[in-house]
């Protein structure tokens, strides 16, 4: 009850702040829409697919690769860094707020944004006739695991590496863009040379894209994407643990007025 109440308070606060600032929300809307449309048209043209098939192909990679990466990872880094920068974190330390609720609050807020983006991407894809082929439940779980992973990484970066808001962009670009390209978010991974593909197998974004495309585009069952799913699952757990440890470490350094 205490955790739930605190989690909601934190999540709601983050969402109100984002609504006030608007800039991030506008970016998180325009970015996936433009990537989806560009990807859709390129795939339709190059692979000689129908528009519906092309957007079915483009939607999952656009969502978990590009959209959620910037909103959930970039967004949670920005939230944590802003809180450190304006030092409101200290005010939270002197309050009875638990670290768990704080983490969960950030997670819930970014999940709301992630769900919004999911609806946006799939609605636009549906406009061109794309359908969600496989189990929506399984797809939802994959999307949720992706969000958890991204928020976990965001927590690690936000508490350990980024000190100021200016650091966020540099960090996200330096870590993110190569990972996204290597994950097949922009360029389909079937065009990768073999060495690159071998490297990509260690990239969590690659597994997110593969798992969600499998379900959403190719209508695969759980057994067919099991490997990608478990990789993602383990990665998500590891990131939550890493995020938690980084938070503890930050506490021991910054927990004072």
Partner 1 sequence: MLHIKRLSKSFGKRQVLQDLTLHVRPGEIYGLLGPNGAGKTTTINILCNLVKEDRGEITINKQPVSEATKSLIGVAPQENLLYKSLTCAENLDFFARIYGLSKQQRWEQVQVCLEAVNLVDRAKSPVETLSGGMKRRLNIAVALVHLPKLVILDEPTTGLDIEARYEIWELIRNLKKQGITVLLTTHLLDEAERLCDKIGIIKDGRIVVEGSLSALRELIPAQEVVVVQTRDEESAIARGKQLGFTHRRYGNDLAFWLPEPLELKEIIACFDGIAVDAIARSPVRLEHIYVEVTQG
State the minimum distance, in angstroms, from the CB of residue 122 to partner 1. 30
Nearest approach, Cβ of 1 to partner 1 (angstroms)? 9
Q: Which stretch binds partner 1 (CB under 8 A): 13-21, 31-39, 58-66, 130-138?
A: 13-21
Query: What is the CB-side half-sphere exposure of residue 73 using CA atoms within 13 A?
Result: 27
Residue 87 binding partner 1, by CB under 8 A: yes
CB burial of residue 176 (10 Å; 0-12, 13-18, 19+): buried
The distance of closest approach from Cβ of residue 157 to partner 1 in the complex, given in angstroms and rounded to an integer, is: 22
Contacting partner 1 within 21-50 (CB under 8 A): 21
* Helix pair 51-60, 99-127: axis angle to 10 deg: 170
Pick 96 or 193: Cβ nearer partner 1: 96
Size of the site for partner 1 (CB under 8 A): 23
Sign of CA dihedral 81, 143, 224, 237: positive
Task: Please select the residue that binds partner 1; options are 34, 50, 88, 123, rule is CB under 8 A.
Answer: 88
Among 38-46, 216-224, 236-244, 249-257, which window interacts with partner 1 (CB under 8 A)?
A: 249-257
Annotate 95-146 with DSSP letters as a single string. Answer: SS--HHHHHHHHHHHHHHHHHHHHHHHHHHHHHTT----S-HHHHHHHHHHH
Rule CB under 8 A: which residues touch partner 1? 2, 5-6, 9, 13, 16-17, 20-21, 86-88, 90-97, 255-257
């Amino acid at each position: 009850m205490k955790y739930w109440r605190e989690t909601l308070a934190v999540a709601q606060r983050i969402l109100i702040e984002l609504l006030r600032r608007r800039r991030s929300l506008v970016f998180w809307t325009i970015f996936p829409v433009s990537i989806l449309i560009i990807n859709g048209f390129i795939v339709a043209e190059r692979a000689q697919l129908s528009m519906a098939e092309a957007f079915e192909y483009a939607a999952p990679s656009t969502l978990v690769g590009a959209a959620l990466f910037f909103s959930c990872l970039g967004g949670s880094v920005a939230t944590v860094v802003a809180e450190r920068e304006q030092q409101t974190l200290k005010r939270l330390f002197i309050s009875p707020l638990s670290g768990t609720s704080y983490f969960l609050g950030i997670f819930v807020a970014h999940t709301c944004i992630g769900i919004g983006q999911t609806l946006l991407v799939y609605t636009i894809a549906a406009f061109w006739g794309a359908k969600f082929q496989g189990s929506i439940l399984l797809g939802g779980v994959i999307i949720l695991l992706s969000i958890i992973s991204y928020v976990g990484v965001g927590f690690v970066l936000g508490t350990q590496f980024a000190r100021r808001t200016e650091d966020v962009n540099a960090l996200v670009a330096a870590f993110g863009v190569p990972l996204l390209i290597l994950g097949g978010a922009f360029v389909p991974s079937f065009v990768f040379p073999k060495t690159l593909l071998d490297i990509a197998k260690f990239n969590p974004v690659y597994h997110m894209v593969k798992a969600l495309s499998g379900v959403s585009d190719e209508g695969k069952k759980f057994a067919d994407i099991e490997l990608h799913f478990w990789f993602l699952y383990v990665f998500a757990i590891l990131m939550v643990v890493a995020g938690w440890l980084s938070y503890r470490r930050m506490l021991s350094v910054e927990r004072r007025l």
